[in-house]
Amino acid sequence: MAFAGRSNVGKSSLVNALTGRRSLARASGQPGRTRQLNFFDLGGRLTLVDMPGYGYAQAGKAVKADWQGLMFDYLRGRPSLRRVLLLMDARIEVKEADRAVMDLLDRAAVTYQLVLTKTDAVKPEPLAAKLAEMAALARRHPAAHPQVLSTSSETGAGIEELRAAIAELADP
């Protein structure tokens, strides 16, 4: 199970919330702090991979290209990868970089699922509209899982649902 998303979308915070450990994955307020693939073994049943973010990061273009190359090399041709969780910030519109990653995952036939993060910062009505928008977006992509999940690492909203979705994919 790999966590992908734009820089500062909350990948590390979500790993920490899912595992119930505040400092397992290093979370930072500064975009682009995750610069390598970080693997978290969950008792031999499943491995979570916290990937470097794409899009904005306070780093040079060559460094960002290296991070993104590392991420995409990892994703391609990996049959043991059950699903990529593609995290999207509920407060921000879908960017061209997000669409490019979705297209790449479609072409590579890598199953992915959209997960909204930071939903505690969005009022219920706009959040419902954002979920509908994301569900419509997922339906337009052949490798996308149809269910969009909504989470907040701050409040714990949606964490149990995401744990359940991940548990379904774990080895028995």
Residue count of the chain, please give it: 172
Model-level pTM?
0.85
Architecture of domain 2-169: 3-Layer(aba) Sandwich (3.40)
- pLDDT (tens digit per residue) in 116-144: 999 999 999 999 999 999 999 999 999 99
Q: Two tokens at 143?
A: 């490798």
- Domain parsing of the chain, residue ranges: 2-169
Of residues 115 and 70, more confidence is placed in 115
Q: Which pLDDT band holds residue 156 (cuts at 50, 70, 90)? A: very high
Q: Which pLDDT band holds residue 63 (cuts at 50, 70, 90)? A: low
**Amino acid 147: pLDDT:** 96
**Amino acid 169: pLDDT:** 86
d(CA 90, CA 139): 18
Among 7-21, 73-87, 156-170, the range with the most confident prediction by mean pLDDT is 156-170
**Is residue 47 scored above 90 in pLDDT?**
no
**Amino acid 171: pLDDT:** 59
Helix then strand count (H, E) for the chain reads 5, 6
> Which of helix, strand or coil describes residue 136?
helix
Cβ proximity of 116 and 6 under 8 Å: no
Q: What is the dihedral of CA 155, 156, 158, 159, to 10 degrees?
A: 160
